[in-house]
Amino acid sequence: MRITRTLPARRSLLPLLVALLIAGCGSGSGATRVRNATLVLDFTPNAVHAGIYSALAHHYDRIVGVHLNVIVPQASTNSIGLLESRRVDFAILDLHDLAIARERGARLVAIMAIVQRPLASVIAARSVGSPRQLAGKTVGITGVPSDTAVLRSVVAGAGGDPSAVRTVTIGFDAVPVLLAGRVAAATAFWNDEGVTLSLRRPGFHVFRVDDYGAPRYPELVVCTTRRLVRDDPDLAASVVKMLVYGYDFTLSNPQRSAADLESFVAGLDPKLVAAQLGALLPAFSGRDRKVGRLDPRALQAWASWEARFHIVSRPPDVGQMFDSSFAASVPSPPGGY
């Protein structure tokens, strides 16, 4: 899971401790009560989070009766630890991190998908036309457990021998390392590093893991604790509803959604945001063209793949790890998009 410093931001992007100390707010007598909730992102704000900021910009949080504080992770942020200690209500997690946490006993549950396909890929130099050609070459990996699985899956899916590939840990520096030619390829996200490289130096090959044997699993999911789902299902349902509204808005109005993101988060490159969002749009909805849904069949296939490539020791219990009920049937917001 990639974590970095907090970016300057407007409205709702409060420093972590401040956000956690905000008192609950209510409304006048007879009005709908507005409840506070906290959501910590998986990474600094970028195009994958556009739907969240559109939900805030177009007041879908007010429609569902939730005041959502969005927290940008810092270098030392442990989102899983914050969830387990109930210092935050919700977090966006990488699906592999969730599986690993649950295997060690964390009682966390995913209640909504942010994207409907993997974002993981192997990005290779122009001279590498197929993952099979990585045999005998050096590939950079970040060091997180899922990287090795992604690399092995991509190479094996292309008919190559994963054991013939050398690896070196490069952290999250795939872009400069690839531009400098220090490795033949690197594991990275196609929606982030892949788009950045295409803008800076076209010609790199992007091998997406689900094009080479992996199932179409939801890379990023909204998670909470099993206790919150049990004790406060209305809060979970309200947060899912506002986020579904936000991502539906993004699909219907991508340019306006990009502007929403940029209005909340200072310092973003509009050209990069537009390119990333254009690449991501097909990933926000599933085969039924709905956002947020958790597909049990796809998740069962992912669970087998997760264990096969040794990210976890045994297939995760999909029935316990996911609650698909919250995003199953969210109606359109009043007034539409």
Last-in-domain residue among 187, 211, 235? 211
42 and 79 Cβ atoms separated by less than 8 Å: yes
Is residue 166 domain-resident? yes
**174: containing domain:** 120-211
What would the mean pLDDT of 44-71 be, rounded to a whole number?
96
* pLDDT (tens digit per residue) in 187-219: 999 999 999 999 999 999 999 999 999 999 999
pLDDT band, very low/low/confident/very high, at 21 (cuts 50, 70, 90): very low
3-state SS class at 124: strand
**Number of domains the chain contains:** 2
Tell me how far the alpha carbon of residue 180 is from its chain's centroid. Answer: 28
Residue 299 lies in a domain: yes
Q: What is the CATH number of the domain that holds 170?
A: 3.40.190.10
Does residue 221 share a domain with residue 197?
no
- Dist CA 141 CA 190 (whole Å): 14
Look at residue 335 and give its three-state secondary structure: coil
Decide: 258 and 206 in contact? Cβ < 8 Å: no
Please tell me whether residues 175 and 250 are part of one structural domain: no
What angle do helix axes 270-280 and 254-264 make, rounded to 10 degrees?
A: 130
CA distance 13 to 137: 43
Q: Is residue 197 part of a domain?
A: yes
259-281 pLDDT, tens per residue? 999 999 999 999 999 999 999 99
For the record, the structure tokens of 156 come out as 């094996």
Element (H, E) at 186: strand 185-189
